[in-house]
């Protein structure tokens, strides 16, 4: 079964205190089902590949993110929602899922389990971005992490699994934009070269990039300011500074992608806006609607130094990626899978008096136990109006419970096709339903 998006009608702006914060959304009815439907589908696929579920808190200690995502990144410098508790703790609403999963990996002793540990998760993340198309302040992601192996197959599995999930929900036209930023040694050499190059062009770059150059030179490549485009286009490429190990790793990843027929393009300026990455970084970009800028629907990469950075112990290599669910649902071709929890009503239950309503919940529970979902009107609508509703819903049967039936402990069951009616004792309802089901 698949669901189609409901028509959006523009409403008058309500009073300020009734308005949600900028960049957030209320999800109603089918929108909730779209979200649940995707998470259920993606989780199921991840489980087939041996991933197990993890849920981490919505907020963490602020230092978890500053230490992993890094000062000088947009997320830490401008976008994190930080709060101080009455006890003086500094907490942050999680802006992303990888650092919390790595924290939970150590805290729950997963490092002493057989490696790698493969986890999937879904939830809300918070970034104080300028609200615009594809940029929310509460965003939802489905992510996977493979912790405890440096093998290139983990990189391939991550990208493969995310593309499989996208294909299963109807996104057939996409490309994987991929790069390698190498290991620590490659990065030291590259950052030096990049800084030397940018220093020669200090007058032509934006003020933010001048600061980035001092604090975190790799971030100049994330700059969205047009002023820096030309300089960025001519900047040295990470691939030219890879160590032999990094080169071999990247070559293997590309061989896997070729073998799996995953379409990719090497994007030499892709470094991604989080500091914990090393080696492979990637984004998945679906074909955009005519005239619209293509936005990445998923992104990720390898983070071989994050484990040590957080735990202070030995290196724990990792690889992962996350799909932005809000963007995915807006992507052309998305086929809106329906979650299994959806129960299409089979019976419309009409209750016509206070006496009837008094026993109606008992009847609904009998129906639930018999696995019959009902629709009902709790209002005072007339029999005719309620039958009209049942007709519009297209249910095959209606149960009518009026004052007389309530006293007799019976219900009337009406076949909406033949218009025939049966009076059935409430005690016999389950047996009767089994016959007509």
Q: Which of 147, 134, 156, 53 shows the shortest CA–CA distance to 105? A: 147
3-state secondary structure of 393: helix
Length of the chain: 437
Q: Is the separation of the CB atoms in 122 and 42 below 8 Å?
A: yes
- Candidates 62, 145, 155, 222; binder of ligand HAM (CB under 6 A) is 145
By C-beta, is 37 or 97 nearer to ligand HAM?
A: 97
Query: How far apart, in whole angstroms, are the C-alpha atoms of residue 285 and residue 264?
Result: 10
Q: Residue 324: beta bridge partners? A: 141
Q: Hey, which residues between 325 and 354 contact ligand HAM (CB under 6 A)?
A: 326-327
**Position among 67, 128, 135, 201 found at the interface with ligand HAM (CB under 6 A):** 135
- Written as one string, the DSSP assignment of 173-191 is -EEEEEEE---HHHHHHHH
Selected from 127, 160, 249, 279, the binder of ligand HAM by CB under 6 A is 127
Q: Would you count residue 139 as binding ligand HAM (CB under 6 A)?
A: yes
Identify residues 77-96 at the interface with ligand HAM (CB under 6 A). 96
Residue whose beta carbon is closest to ligand HAM? 324
265 upstream amide cis, omega within 30 of 0:
no
| 116 lies in the site for ligand HAM, by CB under 6 A | no
Strands (E), 268-358: 278-286, 298-302, 318-324, 347-351
Comparing CB distances to ligand HAM, the nearer of 124 and 195 is 124
Residue 322 interacts with ligand HAM (CB under 6 A)?
yes
Pick the closer one to ligand HAM by CB: 300 or 402: 300
Report, in Å, the least distance between residue 130 CB and ligand HAM.
9
Query: Are 270 and 173 contacting, i.e. CB atoms less than 8 angstroms apart?
Result: no
Among 116, 143, 317, 402, interactor with ligand HAM by CB under 6 A: 143
From 176-184, 316-324, 412-420, 427-435, span contacting ligand HAM (CB under 6 A): 316-324
Binding range to ligand HAM, per CB under 6 A, among 228-236, 321-329, 388-396, 417-425: 321-329
Q: Could you say whether residue 70 binds ligand HAM (CB under 6 A)?
A: no
Nearer to ligand HAM, 24 or 353 (CB): 24
Closest to 264 measured CA to CA, from 371, 163, 390, 372: 163
Contact assessment for residue 344 and residue 373, using Cβ atoms and an 8 Å cutoff: yes
Site string for ligand HAM, 283-312 (x = CB under 6 A): -------------xxxxxx-----------
Instruction: Tell me the C-alpha to C-alpha distance, in Å, between residue 421 and each of 18, 223, 433.
Output: 48, 71, 13
Burial 15-35 (b: 16+ CB within 10 A, else e): eeeeeeeebeeeeeebbebbb
Q: Which H helix or E strand runs over 384?
A: helix 383-393
Positions touching ligand HAM (CB under 6 A) are: 96-98, 127, 129, 134-136, 139, 141, 143, 145, 296-301, 320-322, 324, 326-327
């Amino acid at each position: 079964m698949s669901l189609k998006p409901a028509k959006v009608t523009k409403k008058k702006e309500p009073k300020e205190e009734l308005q949600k914060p900028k960049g957030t959304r209320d999800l109603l009815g089918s929108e909730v089902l779209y979200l649940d439907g995707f998470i259920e589908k993606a989780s199921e696929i991840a489980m087939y590949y041996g991933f197990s579920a993890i849920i981490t808190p919505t907020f963490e200690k602020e230092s978890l993110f500053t230490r992993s995502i890094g000062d000088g990144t947009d997320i830490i410098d401008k976008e994190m929602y930080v709060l101080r508790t009455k006890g003086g703790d500094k907490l942050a609403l999680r802006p992303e899922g990888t650092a919390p999963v790595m924290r939970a990996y150590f805290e729950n002793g997963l490092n002493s389990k057989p490696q790698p540990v493969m986890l999937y998760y879904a939830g809300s993340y918070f970034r104080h971005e300028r609200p615009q198309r594809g940029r929310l302040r509460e965003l939802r992601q489905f992510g996977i992490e493979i912790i405890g192996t440096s093998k290139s197959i983990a990189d391939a599995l991550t990208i493969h699994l995310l593309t499989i999930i996208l294909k299963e929900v109807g996104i057939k036209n996409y490309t994987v934009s991929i790069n390698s930023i190498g290991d620590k040694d490659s990065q030291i050499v590259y950052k030096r070269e990049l800084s030397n190059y940018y220093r020669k062009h200090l007058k032509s770059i934006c003020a933010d990039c001048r600061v980035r150059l001092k604090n975190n030179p790799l971030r100049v490549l994330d700059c969205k300011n047009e002023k820096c485009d030309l300089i960025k286009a001519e900047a040295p490429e990470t691939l030219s500074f890879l160590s032999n190990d990094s080169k071999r790793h990247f070559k293997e990843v590309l061989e896997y992608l070729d073998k799996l027929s995953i379409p990719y393009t090497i994007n030499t300026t892709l470094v991604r806006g989080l500091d914990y990455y090393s080696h492979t970084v990637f984004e998945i970009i679906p074909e955009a609607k005519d005239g619209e800028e293509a936005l990445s629907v998923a992104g990720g990469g390898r983070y071989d130094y994050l484990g040590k950075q957080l735990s202070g112990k030995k290196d724990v290599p990792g690889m992962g990626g996350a799909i932005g669910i809000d963007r995915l649902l807006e992507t052309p071709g998305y086929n809106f899978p329906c979650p299994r929890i959806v129960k299409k009503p089979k019976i419309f239950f009409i209750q016509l008096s206070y006496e009837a309503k008094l026993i109606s919940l008992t009847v609904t529970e009998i129906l639930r136990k018999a696995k019959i979902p009902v629709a009902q009107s709790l209002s005072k609508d007339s029999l005719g109006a309620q039958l009209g509703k049942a007709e519009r819903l297209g249910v095959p049967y209606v149960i009518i419970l009026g004052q007389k039936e309530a006293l007799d402990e019976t219900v009337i069951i009406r076949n909406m096709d033949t218009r025939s009616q049966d009076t059935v004792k409430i005690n016999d309802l389950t047996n009767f339903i089994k016959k007509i089901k």
